[in-house]
């Protein structure tokens, strides 16, 4: 196998491009590691020591060496999103439940859990798709370039970020900002639904196709869903929430020609908010 140091500049660039395409777009260490070289002898990992705090030790009769037995998973490692979410009575409890939830693989590769930002008592709640690199780093939704555009769109209808409530369907960044899989979406959805129930906004905005299709349970794409008002039902005998879908700000950054349609949606939103309780 060629060593990294043997590669030409063009080959190095091609390798880098391949890594970025595969989602490895952030440095994990300060110094690069050349994994094509054998590790130095001292760096060969020693066999793992048993961890008495987590593992019990079983002895079978007649066999001398102790055999580590995995400890029962702590009760906090919860897998059942539906039951966990249903048991939460406040937004703070829900945040804690999401942070403890280990049923979505995205958590393993993410740096932070990104729960929400803004005022949980706000009239206006916005739900995006999933954190990106900036959000993953800072632990807050919509703080990167698309977040800056969202802030400006909100300001244009007289709302500051601190006076609205912003979250995502997924609480962890998909590696390389890839599309979340249907399975990952389903793993987080009970929390997202409970989140909306607990906040109980007067108006709900769904940013982008993933959020709109998932929350509204629709198969149509965002081109058809945007700009229409839906009635989001959170439960029997509870008021429905007027809900509008619009383009995701990241899409607007890529397709500025569509800002005009999004502006229309935000004007409709402004009007609805002025009539909301």
Q: Which residue is nearest to ligand URA (CB)?
A: 128
Q: Which is nearer to ligand URA, 84 or 150 (CB)?
A: 150
Are 170 and 188 in contact, with CB atoms under 8 Å apart? yes
Contact footprint for ligand URA (CB under 6 A): 128-132, 135, 141-142, 144, 146-147, 168, 250
- Residue 98: half-sphere exposure toward Cβ, Cα within 13 Å: 26
CA distances from 114 to 23, 24, 61, 166, 199 (A): 19, 20, 49, 11, 17
Q: Which is nearer to ligand URA, 141 or 190 (CB)?
A: 141
CB of 212 to ligand URA, least distance (A): 12
CA distance 221 to 165: 25
CB of 134 to ligand URA, least distance (A): 7
- Residue 5: half-sphere exposure toward Cβ, Cα within 13 Å: 4
CB of 251 to ligand URA, least distance (A): 10
Structure tokens at 144: 């990167």
Q: Which is nearer to ligand URA, 120 or 144 (CB)?
A: 144
CB of 53 to ligand URA, least distance (A): 36
Residues 6+ apart with CB under 8 A from 120: 91, 165, 198, 199
Q: Which is nearer to ligand URA, 248 or 272 (CB)?
A: 248
Are 171 and 98 in contact, with CB atoms under 8 Å apart? yes
Q: Which is nearer to ligand URA, 88 or 116 (CB)?
A: 116
């Amino acid at each position: 196998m060629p060593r990294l140091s043997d590669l030409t500049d063009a080959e190095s660039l091609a390798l880098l491009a391949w890594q970025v395409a595969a989602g490895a777009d952030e440095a994990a260490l300060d110094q690069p590691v050349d994994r094509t070289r054998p590790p130095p002898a001292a760096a060969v990992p020693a066999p793992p020591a048993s961890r008495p705090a987590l593992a019990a030790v079983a002895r079978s009769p007649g066999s001398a060496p102790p055999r580590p037995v995995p400890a029962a998973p702590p009760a906090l490692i919860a897998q059942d999103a539906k039951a966990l979410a249903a048991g939460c009575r406040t937004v703070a409890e829900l945040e804690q439940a999401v942070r403890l939830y280990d049923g979505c693989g995205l958590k393993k590769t993410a740096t932070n859990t990104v729960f929400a930002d803004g005022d949980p008592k706000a009239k206006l709640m916005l739900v995006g798709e999933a954190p990106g690199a900036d959000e993953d780093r800072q632990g807050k939704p919509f703080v990167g370039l698309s977040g800056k555009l969202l802030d400006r769109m909100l300001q244009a209808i007289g709302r500051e970020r601190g006076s609205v409530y912003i979250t995502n369907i997924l609480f962890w960044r998909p590696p390389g900002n890839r599309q979340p899989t249907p399975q990952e979406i389903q793993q987080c959805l009970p929390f997202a639904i409970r989140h909306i129930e607990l906040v109980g906004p007067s108006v709900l905005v769904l940013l982008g196709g993933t959020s709109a299709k998932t929350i509204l349970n629709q198969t149509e794409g965002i081109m058809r869903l945007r700009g229409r008002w839906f009635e989001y039902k959170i439960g029997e005998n509870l008021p429905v929430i007027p809900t509008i879908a619009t383009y995701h700000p990241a899409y607007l950054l890529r397709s500025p020609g569509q800002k005009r349609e999004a502006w229309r949606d935000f004007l409709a939103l402004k009007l609805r908010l002025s009539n909301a309780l």
